[in-house]
Chain A
């Protein structure tokens, strides 16, 4: 009875791709798919749709028309948007008030299509990949204040709100962040925004050695100079950065300092002393060059048009060196972000033997990996995400609690989920 009453839109269910522009339409589609057990692929702006396992879906729910800013309150530090809203549109609106999404969402467009595509906010939340500021401000999930979404039965649910302090009921914002659209279709998203720092500068240290770089990064992150970014690019990537104040083209460690003007200068100066740097060893990028440098990092531009497979490995900083040493073969390139904890590693060749080695190594070093880009013929059989049997069992139960008939992106993360 209830379903009939809600079927009020004029959607044609014979089509394979739905492009709803209202929540009512999304509800109708999901209810229909639930009733008939039709699997549904949830899609946004196609920037990250290649991440995840191959799976069979009869229909596609394209949310790119479900977009727009619902409410933006700069003084309350939040923006409420529809899930299909492009990140670029949100960033544009925030810029007018000198604000930003502090978690710096990665732009995977360069990697997959050679040009910028920062995707939609729904996709960014669903994947939970944060950029270089991660270690200082948290991940995407730490900025999601509340949401409205449609569960696998077509019921509209919500959690959280628009205030930062809210402990009312289970924190469903967290479980949905990084769930790759397998639990709930996000419709409205309230996300925390923060002021843009007055200025930012980057200390670039010339050094080709990863061990030394990790020392620099570790020391910087434990210093009261409060950096907001820390990367290492080995020799072969150094040449990708052509900037006026960058005095060499080899391997480099970059440390970003943000804040009021004179505080940034003071901290850059202090940090270079704390790290015992001598004059010809480092250079300082001004705010314009800093923005270019960190955008290139966030956009993974060193891997632009690369044919290689790309793996994202996260480990505690103390393990990074060993993981790199164990994984590093001649044919692979990598760079390090998150002040030493995140390794982006490209493999020209990948097979299940190499992959299980990587899995073993990251696991032994208390970390995990996600396959970001892999050859299509290998994709069907590869484990894209790592998981242990106990968590798999719990994940199965959680999936069922949101999406009992497994109609949302079935198998995108794990077989059977």
Chain B
């Protein structure tokens, strides 16, 4: 994997390791301060496993006051801090620095309050995304954003990354489902932004913090809104002879006023891989395979499914199946959810990209990806959250072959640049982290980036909180790696990724 420039290591901090350990050991329970290499090893990477770095120290605070005191101490002593939730992030946002205190929030793992009257849940940040839904589902509620790693990713991490999921078009990403947070700034200030009331007074700091990738503050409490579960959910599995037909179908469904809960497209390469891998039973002759799902009340869902069927037929659908039961609907999804592991079987390694594009540009972008695939001589398969324009090309390569790796990285960077060129974004849901840091200048000019850095400096003048992430250090557009999977083995093979 290419080398990556990180902020300059402060050797004076390295030499003070013992003092830092004992100082923080006086702020919090010394048992929660880890400093032996064997203890540090599990924290050397996150979901972006291509990059590894042991931190100086790992601290595991248990209260907001402890978080505040540690940050205050680090601020005064100019020690860098990297916050970490569940460590499942795919862009390297929690990658430690050699001279950093890694603040692992794992002990903040309790749901604090379930408030049905105000339809919200107040929770500590290291509760998993899915645990929130589990806590309220017996009363018929759920938490809407559903990143594929929801069984393991933390809600605090979701806030830091503004995580999405397959239902973002209808239900929004984390930022649209968040009511409030408690946050600690680098100088130790504890404050709350938002609460149980909707919107907030003054500047929208809640919105600014969401998706700031741990650069502006450490989240210590989260209040999310919960929704009443839809009465019924139905899906249709539709095959198309061309990508264009599938793309037109997506555009028409939306133009007709149907907003699906989820709408997914897989190209032929991915459909084939999935069929071989999981016996998904997807149509093998189709160039594009689409799952469109509607939720709501019975009449509403029936009306939308009927409309979607008509639109699909008008756009030359080659096969069409509507789920007759919830089991059948989940079966439609099972193949889609197995798509990433299926690629792991086709090649020694694959890299998962995460670009956003205007829905109408799908066919054009896929044509470009096919062209690039030939140019770089690497196979690619494509999954697309068509509802919200989030494209996940999976580039297959062999990491043992240095040339193949370099080609893959170049290929990936070219795809993301093309996404930006057609009016999309570098990252739809994985975040910038270190992974896409040097590509930021594809999306922003110097003035844009400078404005963002000025905000960072306003809240963290010494740039100690998660430095080296999101914003380019060298300000040159180097091409770097993406989510890298070797031999089909991710670091957490049991976490679904789709």
Q: How far is the CA of A194 from the CA of B210 in the complex (A)?
A: 24
Q: A165-B385, A315-B197, A390-B191 are known contacts. Are A172 and B297 too (CB-CB below 8 A)?
A: no
Q: How far is the CA of A366 from the CA of B200 in the complex (A)?
A: 10
CB distance from B157 to the nearest CB of A (A): 13
CB-CB contacts below 8 Å: B419-454 with A = 423-432, 436, 440, 443-444, 447-452, 454
Find the residue from B252, B254, B432 having the highest chain A CB count within 10 A. Answer: B254
* One of A18-26, A232-240, A247-255, A397-405 at the interface: A397-405
Q: How far is the CA of A152 from the CA of B19 in the complex (A)?
A: 44
Q: Is the CB of B172 within 8 A of A75?
A: no
Taken residue by residue from 182 to 199, chain B's Cβ proximity to chain A (1 for < 8 Å, 0 otherwise) reads as 000100010101011111
At the interface, yes or no: A162 with Cβ under 8 Å from chain B?
yes
Q: A167-B161, A169-B444, A317-B117 are known contacts. Are A222 and B228 too (CB-CB below 8 A)?
A: yes
Name A163's contact: one of B195, B296, B358 (CB within 8 Å).
Answer: B358
Find the residue from B189, B196, B427 having the highest chain A CB count within 10 A. Answer: B196
Q: Is the CB of B191 within 8 A of A391?
A: yes
Q: A161-B424, A165-B425, A316-B118 are known contacts. Are A170 and B444 too (CB-CB below 8 A)?
A: no
Q: A165-B390, A341-B197, A394-B459 are known contacts. Are A222 and B116 too (CB-CB below 8 A)?
A: yes
CB distance from A414 to the nearest CB of B (A): 8
CB distance from B298 to the nearest CB of A (A): 7
Q: How far is the CA of A178 from the CA of B202 in the complex (A)?
A: 7
* One of B69-77, B162-170, B489-497 at the interface: B162-170
Interface size on A, residues (CB 8 A): 86
Q: Is the CB of A195 within 8 A of B196?
A: no
At the interface, yes or no: B205 with Cβ under 8 Å from chain A?
yes
CB-CB contacts below 8 Å: A52-79 with B = 73-77
Q: Is the CB of A158 within 8 A of B173?
A: no
Q: Is the CB of A367 within 8 A of B443?
A: no
Q: How far is the CA of A168 from the CA of B431 in the complex (A)?
A: 7
Residues of A within 8 A of B191 (CB): 390-391, 394
* One of A43-51, A108-116, A257-265 at the interface: A257-265
Name B176's contact: one of A73, A77, A138, A398 (CB within 8 Å).
Answer: A138
Q: A73-B358, A401-B455 are known contacts. Are A167 and B211 too (CB-CB below 8 A)?
A: yes
Q: Is the CB of B198 within 8 A of A167?
A: no
CB-CB contacts below 8 Å: B119-168 with A = 119-120, 140, 161-162, 164, 168
Residues of A within 8 A of B119 (CB): 221-222
Residues of A within 8 A of B426 (CB): 168
Residues of A within 8 A of B185 (CB): 394
Residues of A within 8 A of B448 (CB): 157-159, 169
CB distance from B136 to the nearest CB of A (A): 11
At the interface, yes or no: A244 with Cβ under 8 Å from chain B?
no
At the interface, yes or no: A385 with Cβ under 8 Å from chain B?
yes
Q: Is the CB of A165 within 8 A of B201?
A: no
Q: A166-B428, A172-B452 are known contacts. Are A198 and B198 too (CB-CB below 8 A)?
A: no
Q: Is the CB of B360 within 8 A of A263?
A: no
Q: Is the CB of A170 within 8 A of B212?
A: yes
At the interface, yes or no: B457 with Cβ under 8 Å from chain A?
yes
CB distance from B336 to the nearest CB of A (A): 18
CB-CB contacts below 8 Å: A152-185 with B = 155-159, 161-175, 177-179, 183
Q: How far is the CA of A183 from the CA of B176 in the complex (A)?
A: 22
Residues of B within 8 A of A179 (CB): 203-204
At the interface, yes or no: B458 with Cβ under 8 Å from chain A?
yes
Q: Is the CB of A162 within 8 A of B358?
A: yes
Q: Is the CB of B424 within 8 A of A163?
A: yes
Name A139's contact: one of B161, B199, B258 (CB within 8 Å).
Answer: B199
Smallest CB gap from A157: residue in B:
B451
Find the residue from B252, B440, B452 having the highest chain A CB count within 10 A. Answer: B452
Q: A263-B300, A338-B198, A368-B197 are known contacts. Are A178 and B203 too (CB-CB below 8 A)?
A: yes
Q: Is the CB of B204 within 8 A of A397?
A: no
Q: How far is the CA of A317 from the CA of B390 in the complex (A)?
A: 35
Taken residue by residue from 314 to 345, chain A's Cβ proximity to chain B (1 for < 8 Å, 0 otherwise) reads as 11111000000000000000000010011000
At the interface, yes or no: A34 with Cβ under 8 Å from chain B?
no
Residues of A within 8 A of B47 (CB): none
Q: Is the CB of B389 within 8 A of A401?
A: no
CB-CB contacts below 8 Å: A373-409 with B = 385-387, 390-391, 394-395, 397-398, 400-402
* 5 new A-B contacts at CB < 8 Å, known A179-B204, A394-B191: A97-B255, A167-B211, A259-B297, A394-B203, A401-B458
B residues sitting closer than 8 Å to A (CB atoms) are 115-120, 140, 161-162, 164, 168-169, 172-173, 175-176, 185, 189, 191, 193, 195-208, 210-212, 216, 228-231, 251-252, 254-259, 296-300, 303-304, 356-360, 385, 388-390, 423-432, 436, 440, 443-444, 447-452, 454-455, 457-459, 470-471
A residues sitting closer than 8 Å to B (CB atoms) are 73-77, 97-98, 128, 130, 134-135, 138-139, 141-142, 151, 155-159, 161-175, 177-179, 183, 194-198, 218, 221-226, 259-260, 262-263, 266-267, 270, 314-318, 338, 341-342, 366-370, 385-387, 390-391, 394-395, 397-398, 400-402, 413-414
Q: Can you list the 6 inter-chain pairs with the closest CB atoms, starting with the nearest?
A: A174-B207, A195-B257, A263-B300, A165-B428, A316-B196, A263-B299
Between A and B, 15 residue pairs with Cβ closer than 8 Å are A75-B252, A76-B360, A135-B198, A157-B451, A175-B208, A178-B199, A226-B296, A226-B297, A263-B299, A266-B298, A316-B115, A341-B197, A342-B198, A368-B201, A385-B201
